[in-house]
Structure formats: structure tokens, C-alpha cells
Amino acid sequence: MIAAALTIAGSDPSGGAGIQADLKTFHQFGVYGEAAIALLTVQNTLGVSAIELIPGRIIRQQVEAVLADIRPAAIKTGALGGEEAIQTVAELVPSFECPLVVDPVMVSTSGHRLLAADGERALRDLLLPRCTLVTPNVAEAQILSGVGIANLQNADKAALRIGTFAKVAVLVKGGHLADDATDVLYLDGTLHHFPGKRIQTKHTHGSGCTYSAAITALLAKGYDLIPAIRIAKAFVQRAIETAPALGRGTGPLNHFAGTTGDSTGASS
Ligand code: PXL
């Protein structure tokens, strides 16, 4: 039977980030994609011009409808918008009965806030302790940990701190680190490093969404966390390297990139 995965996140009508990136990524990994929408953005590759939050009760009803019918084998969250949505999802977690990946989206690639200030506390106190893996970028890891991050050692410290207080696995993504693009995983008291290539391109719109969606798809297929991260990272790297240069701003990745763990670009 085909595995299903659910994303609870925001809509990006230009198709490169959010729900749209998650569904394309699930599909590319051969996983049946389901999507509960937590907010709408009005945006294209040049930026976000408006945001409309979906009421918590509608988010809850979308998730409950999915859980009552086509049960996902893994779930991820993306942009949730604020405290109400985060509290709603946190309350639903005990009914998930599968891994939960939280991408703590706070700011869009173009610098637009996708989480109100009240949401940061709710994210840290309500949602993080209930997830399997949280995947902050450097800016988000700084906010969640209180550690200033300028290098890999700082990223290690931030991952350790978040993992220790929330008692979850933490993947601090190094894509924005000055030296290289190494990611740090804190898992059960141990730090692991995933070296990456720094790719010179402006087309990175939705790379965080795509990465966490790829991890979620692989967890839905039964992969353990470390191989899932390794394969997902190789996919995102290839998707950035072969980005189709669409749009007049920060363009999307190539969601048709190969999904195997090696770097040949071959599809599974
Ligand atoms: O990549 C973060 C992100 C998440 N969700 C939505 C977005 C973005 C970035 O632009 O638009 C809806």
C-alpha cells in the first residue's frame, strides 16, 4: 500500500514553498500527499504581499477529516501563523500516532514574518516538546535557543540546547552559515554532522519546506531519521543545483530532482 504523509502549513500560490512545495516533494518520493492549510499567502518569487490566517477550528476540522479517513504515516508542519494555530496543532498531536516533523517557519525567504511574536513562545512551549524532529535554520535556531550562531560550533551548541530542553531531535540547517552548509543533528544526546555543498545561486525559494517535506516523506516510508536526513539533504542539494530559474525574483527549486541517497541524480 502507498504511504501517505500530511502537511499542515501555509499556501504559496507561486508554487515554490509552503504546501505546494511539500506536496510536490511528497509526490516525488512516491508518497501520497495530504495538505491542511493553516494560512494563505499572496506571493510570487518577488515576495509576500499579504497573509490571511485560517481559524484554528477550521485547521482542526481539516486535520480531523484526514485522520479519520486516509491516515498519514508521517506529518509535518510549516508556516502556522500564530499562537492559535500552534495551540490547535499541539492539541491534535496525541491523535497523530506517527512521526511529526516541525519546520519552525518564522520568516519567509523574502523576509516577511510568517509567525506572529506570540507564536514563538507557543512554538517553543507547546509544539516542540510534542514533535519527533524540529528543523530550524540558523535564524530560527538562534531564536529558539538564545545562542548566537556564527559558525558550526555555535550551531552544535544551539542544537544541544534545543534538544535538551524540548527532549526532541533537532536539525539545525547550515545553509545560511558563513563557512559551509553543514547541518547539525542532535539525537538522543549525540551530535551528528551532515556536510553540504554551498551552492552559488539565488534560486532557493522553499528550500527549507522542501527539505523537511523530503524527511517527512522518507519517515512515512519507514526510514530511520539519520538515513532519511542524508537522502533528503542530497535531494535538496540536487534540486537547488538544477533549479529551473523561474520567475523574476528568488526562484523555486527543481522538484523533479532525483530522490536516491547518492549524488548521481538518479531517481529511485
Ligand atoms: O520557506 C518558508 C515558507 C513557508 N511557508 C510559506 C512560505 C515560505 C517562504 O516563502 O511562503 C507559505
**Is residue 105 lining ligand 1, measured as CB closer than 6 Å?**
yes
Question: Which residue CA neighbors atom 5 of ligand 1 most closely?
Answer: 18
Biggest CA-to-CA distance, the chain: 46
Q: Which residues pair with 74 in a beta bridge?
A: 5
Q: Which atom of ligand 1 is nearest the CA belonging to 41?
A: 12
pLDDT of 264 above 80? no
Q: How far apart are CA 176 and CA 117, in angstroms?
A: 22
Phi, psi values for residue 239, rounded to 5°: -65, -35
**CA 208 to centroid of ligand 1, rounded, Å:** 8
Confidence of residue 246 (pLDDT cuts 50, 70, 90): very high
**CA 10 to centroid of ligand 1, rounded, Å:** 7
Domain locations along the chain: 4-142+204-241
Q: For the chain, give me the number of helices (H) and strands (E)? A: 8, 9
According to CATH, what is the number of the domain 4-142+204-241?
A: 3.40.1190.20
Q: How far apart are CA 114 and CA 16, in angstroms?
A: 15
Find the mean pLDDT for residues 58-69.
98
Percentage with pLDDT > 70 across the chain: 96
Q: Which residues pair with 194 in a beta bridge?
A: 183
**Is residue 206 lining ligand 1, measured as CB closer than 6 Å?**
yes
**CA 53 to centroid of ligand 1, rounded, Å:** 14
**Is residue 136 lining ligand 1, measured as CB closer than 6 Å?**
no
Question: Which residue CA neighbors atom 8 of ligand 1 most closely?
Answer: 108
Q: What is the pLDDT of residues 195-239, one digit of tens each?
A: 998 888 999 999 999 999 999 999 999 999 999 999 999 999 999
Q: What predicted TM-score, i.e. pTM, was given to this entire model?
A: 0.96
Could you tell me the three cell numbers for 188? 538522543
| Residue 116, pLDDT score | 84
Question: Which residue CA neighbors atom 2 of ligand 1 most closely?
Answer: 108
**Is residue 209 lining ligand 1, measured as CB closer than 6 Å?**
yes
**CA 1 to centroid of ligand 1, rounded, Å:** 31
Confidence of residue 267 (pLDDT cuts 50, 70, 90): very low
Q: What is the pLDDT of residues 70-98, one digit of tens each?
A: 999 999 999 999 999 999 999 999 999 99
Find the mean pLDDT for residues 19-45.
98
**Closest to 119 in 3D by CA, of 79, 83, 72, 144:** 83
**Closest to 106 in 3D by CA, of 96, 121, 93, 91:** 121
